[in-house]
Amino acid sequence: MGYRIVVAGATGNVGREMLNILDERQFPADEVVALASRKSLGTEVSFGDTTLKTQDLDTFDFAGYDIAFFAVGSDATKKYAPIAAKAGCIVIDNSSLYRYDPDVPLVVPEVNPEAVDGYAKKNIIANPNCSTAQMVVALKPLHDRAKIKRVVVSTYQSVSGSGTAAIDELWNQTKGVYVPGQEVAPKVYPKQIAFNVIPHIDVFMDSGDTKEEWKMVAETKKIVDPSIKVTATCVRVPVFVGHSESINIEFEDFLDEDEARDILREAPGCMVIDKREDGGYVTPIECVGDFATFISRIRQDSTIDNGLNMWVVSDNLRKGAALNAVQIAETLGNRVLKKG
């Protein structure tokens, strides 16, 4: 007997990707229901060779369903996730609402699969921020070997992380640069994103950090180790899909770059592409549609005793969101539910 699955927010970028990945990974589902808000009610979405017509999230009865993937944003999640959880349906939430709740596990299956066992307190499991997910996949196997003291990360985040409207804004602004009279003013972003980079993701906090930067700090501590010090600068770049990160790591113990490369080659979810030649690294355009977190430019940092630099790239709609959510469901199934 397989699972009865719900995807809430099925018409959005992440919701559609969840449906794609459930099919690609042949998740043992007997039934899949697509939910959307009333403005998208009746919209058809693809699930493998079939087409699903979206149902109304507002009136849906979650009783009898095993797992609900939520990709609807924090406000809608705050309203509907407790309803689903109370009905006995385990919620895997892609928003930031529950990530910092001590009673809700925050899970990256390659890093802390055992954390799913704590789902029962609220019947909810949180999916991490896109930029955190790919980073911790690369950090954890190195931390296990040499214990990380400090991480300095700069991100180069694609516009798909902001949704469909942001993708359209980049596309239309790019066209507008070349076609007189078709210039497009910024709406999604505070400044033009086409041919530009914006060092501002989410709201500014009193510390001067943005909320996105704070998320990377708090989530790395919760998922990997609370003793790790993290500082982040998060930047939006004119790329449609794929987040990139320049990561500097300081360890307690010395770790040679060759050993680090070998460790990462064997680590779950990691793909090392690291040749010291033209094109011997991965860029966002090559990672689109792939499950892996790609790691390149691994090298010693000679300015500190135990330092390494590396470049990490992943499809933010996949490992940064939909793939990780489906992997959580797979882990939950293997460790707890054991259906299918």
> Quick check: 32 pLDDT over 80?
yes
What token pair was written down for 114? 């055992």
Q: What are the percentages of helix, strand and coil residues in the chain, rounded to 5? A: 35, 25, 40
Alpha helices in the chain (DSSP H): 13-24, 74-86, 130-146, 164-178, 211-223, 257-266, 284-287, 323-332
Annotated binding residue at 38? no
- pLDDT-based confidence at 338, cuts 50/70/90? confident
- pLDDT-based confidence at 339, cuts 50/70/90? confident
243 is catalytic: yes
* Domains of the chain in sequence order: 3-127+321-336 (3.40.50.720), 131-158+197-314 (3.30.360.10)
For residue 130, which of 293, 243, 224, 21 has the smallest C-alpha distance? Answer: 243
> Quick check: 249 pLDDT over 70?
yes
Residues 205-241: tens digit of each pLDDT: 999 999 999 999 999 999 999 999 999 999 999 999 9
Structure confidence at residue 301 (pLDDT):
98
Residues 163-181: tens digit of each pLDDT: 999 999 999 999 999 999 9
> Quick check: 311 pLDDT over 70?
yes
Annotated binding residue at 162? no
Cα separation, 10 vs 125, whole angstroms: 19
Structure confidence at residue 322 (pLDDT):
96
Please tell me the pTM assigned to this model: 0.95
143 is catalytic: no
Among candidate residues 89, 143, 243, 287, the one labeled active-site is 243
Annotated binding residue at 99? yes
Among candidate residues 89, 130, 234, 287, the one labeled active-site is 130
Structure confidence at residue 340 (pLDDT):
66
Annotated binding residue at 157? yes
Write down the mean pLDDT value for the chain: 96
